[in-house]
Amino acid sequence: MQAAQRGFSLIELMISLLLSLLVVGAAGSLFLSNQKVYGATETINRIQENQRSAFEMLARDVREAGGNPCTRNVVNMLDTSKAGGLYYTGWMDGVSGENGTRVNGSDEITLYLANGSSVAVTSNNSPSANIGVSSTADLATNDIVMICNAEVATIFQATALPSGLSIQHNSGNGDPGNLQKPFQIDQTTFDSNPSGNANGYCFLPPATGANPNCLNPPSGSPAQVVKPYGVSWYLKDNQRGGTSLYRQVTNNGGASVQTAGEISEGVTDMQISYKVGNTANFVDASAVTAAQWKQVTAVRTRLTFQAVQGALAANDIKGTDNANVTRTLDDYIVLRNHQDIQ
């Protein structure tokens, strides 16, 4: 006998559709929830990555402030009546800052360093105007450079590169120019006779007494030449409608300013304070006097980061208050190579 056949009733069909809708709704809700969690997690990860890179690079410059390959005894031979020479009096302090001068009332910090590549000094057995070096490939006439050994570091202007293996440091020309030709052992000795051109310090003198114009016996330590520079950290508007943290390098006393490099996006505030000597508190730059910058021993940096859209959806970067997710982080950095740290 042929079996009886019949289809679904209307009630059965409606029940099955309702159950299907419940399953789809549950699956959709779970998907949207996971998507929201992923977006929030990715937003926090991006903020943390920006924080990590920004603090690491900033801390590296702060730790090296005032540092050079040789010694803390630095002499500035430049003409400080001119802007380029005056710039290096601040360089010798290692650090300086401005309070509330950048976007959103943020601060700016400038560090002074001499930690780049160096060339070896091959001869300087006379206070004459020439230093023998292993190479001048990365140098140019009028560059401001530093020569140093274990006893003294001297900042001067290269007035010429006569043979490709020597640096001339005459006085009386150049901008800002050198106040005198011979090197000196300390700033006090130099300042007492800024126009003298007779006796001086020799970085690689011959045996004691071989050149009476050298005011020092052989130090026994190697000497080298390196370029000192300044690096400023500050916030400014980027080209995407937000603000970012930037790093800008200055060479030759401000005569050569490199294009600022964007370090981290979404930084909306930077507040910096300074610990002067052994004081307990950190103070703003406005409370640090000109004479106290060389006494700064530590820096406190506070950066505020805000989530930016980028590759994420607009809702992914929103918090529970429907505002962009923000995180603020503090860091305390000790100046390892500062002049006054013993």
Looking up tokens 């140098």 gives: 139
Which pLDDT score, from 0 to 100, does residue 316 have?
65
Which pLDDT score, from 0 to 100, does residue 342 have?
42
The CA distance from 120 to 131, in Å, is 10
Which pLDDT score, from 0 to 100, does residue 341 have?
44
Q: Give the confidence band of 340 by pLDDT, cuts at 50, 70, 90.
A: very low
Average pLDDT over residues 12-21: 81
Q: Give the confidence band of 136 by pLDDT, cuts at 50, 70, 90.
A: very high
Strands (E), the chain: 74-76, 95-98, 108-113, 118-123, 130-133, 144-148, 153-157, 166-168, 224-226, 229-237, 243-251, 256-257, 261-265, 267-276, 296-306, 326-334
The CA distance from 43 to 302, in Å, is 20
Residue 299 has pLDDT above 60, yes or no: yes
Q: Give the confidence band of 46 by pLDDT, cuts at 50, 70, 90.
A: confident
Q: Are 118 and 68 in contact (CB under 8 A)?
A: no
Q: Are 167 and 135 in contact (CB under 8 A)?
A: no
Read off the pTM: 0.82
- Going from N- to C-terminal start, the domains of the chain cover 48-67+230-334
The one-character DSSP state at 259 is: P
The CA distance from 92 to 78, in Å, is 12
Write out pLDDT tens, residues 201-243.
Answer: 889 877 666 777 888 877 778 999 999 999 999 999 998 888 9
Q: Where are the alpha helices (DSSP H) in 184-225?
A: 187-192
Average pLDDT over residues 165-175: 88
The winner for highest mean pLDDT among 42-46, 106-110, 250-254, 257-261 is 106-110
Q: What percent of the chain has pLDDT over 70?
A: 88
Which pLDDT score, from 0 to 100, does residue 47 have?
79
